[in-house]
Copies of this chain bind each other. A is one copy, B any other.
Amino acid sequence: MKPKIEDVAKVAGVSPTTVSRVLNDRGYISGKTKDKVYAAMEEINYVPNDLARSLYNKRSYLIGVIVPSTGNPFFGELVAYIESICDEKGYKVLLCNSLHEADKEKKYWEMLRRNQVDGVIVVTYNRGLVDKEQQFPAVAIDHYLSEHIHVVSSDNFQGGELASRELLETGCKKIIHINGDANLETPANNRQYAYERVMKEAGRTPETYHVVSDAAFLESNIGTIQQLFEEHPDVDGIFASDDLLAIRTLQYAEHLGYKVPEDLKIVGYDGTSLIRSLYPNLTTIIQPIYQIADDAVQTLIQEIDNTSDDRKEKTFPVSLWKGETTGSFT
């Protein structure tokens, strides 16, 4: 049997109340008693039961984190940061990989409620999850969920602009955009709007191809990329809405015989540490993942500590990582 507070009390020759007080450093306790209690805890290898504590305190220090999949490097890094920051602040993370399935998200949401999490950080592209009254504090990353849920994101519009302008400025004549699943309401939508706007302002005709990805965004339909090159062999600039897509496009283009950046320039999106380390040549838009994670956790904890009514919305600027895929090889 796991030792409980009562066992410690017996060994230390005090009451359970006193043990609890020592544990929580609450009220006045003589140094001697404290020592006795600590010794007793040590002796029987006692560890408090957080379930029982949480039950009484109505505070679990548990935070639910819902992402599509940690298998995708963007979410893998995001979750690693979120967890580390939570740990620093005394919170624990209950991890949920939704795989973009709306019903999984729904089930996870309820699971988190049952487990009395203090709050939730969620990356979801399915609306309408948060029906009814707001259940508990939540922060959405990169997506508007409801009028009660805070959102923290990086500036997707700015990112789209930066990427599009980079291609314009490096002399591309025919710039095409590749985006993810058109049915998903992702932050990438704003990247597309920005692209369209920049194109129009420059007197160009925007054109976007949509690629269907799997849940982890790991594989993506190469068919669409093929189609792009068949329909527009004269393309000389591509803005892909994420780095994996950009790299796949790059590979396919080289396979077709295009030289990058001479014949074709490419800009990706996300700029995770991993991709920057593996493909330092790829020009991309860097999202400040750590800042997003940090702000999401901070905002959530603030909300947990004192529920306020005003929804917060924070947006962090992105930056351009200039690699050789848009470099002018002279």
Chain A residues with CB under 8 Å of chain B are: 45, 47-52, 54-55, 60, 65, 69-73, 75-77, 79-81, 83-84, 87, 92-97, 99, 104, 108, 110-111, 113-116, 132-133, 216, 218-219, 244, 247-248, 251, 273-274, 277-280
Contacts and interface: CB of A to CB of B under 8 A. Distances in A.
A288 to B, nearest CB: 15
Given A248-B277, A277-B218, A92 B92 contact: no
Given A71-B76, A80-B97, A116 B49 contact: yes
A51 B49 contact: no
Interface centre among A49, A65, A132, A219 (most CB of B within 10 A): A49
8 contacts: A47-B113, A51-B60, A51-B115, A71-B73, A73-B73, A73-B76, A84-B97, A244-B278
B60 A70 contact: no
Instruction: Specify which of A80, A133, A219 lies most central, judged by the most chain B CB atoms within 10 Å of its CB.
Output: A80
A31 to B, nearest CB: 25
Contacts of A83: 70, 95-97
Contacts of A104: 87
B92 A94 contact: yes
Contacts of A77: 70-71
Given A70-B80, A73-B274, A115 B50 contact: yes
Nearest to A219: B277
A95 B79 contact: yes
Contacts of A274: 71-73, 218, 244
Q: Max chain B CB contacts within 10 Å: which of A52, A70, A79, A244?
A: A70
B45 A49 contact: no
A45 B83 CA distance: 30
B71 A114 contact: no
A301 to B, nearest CB: 17
Contacts of A111: 92
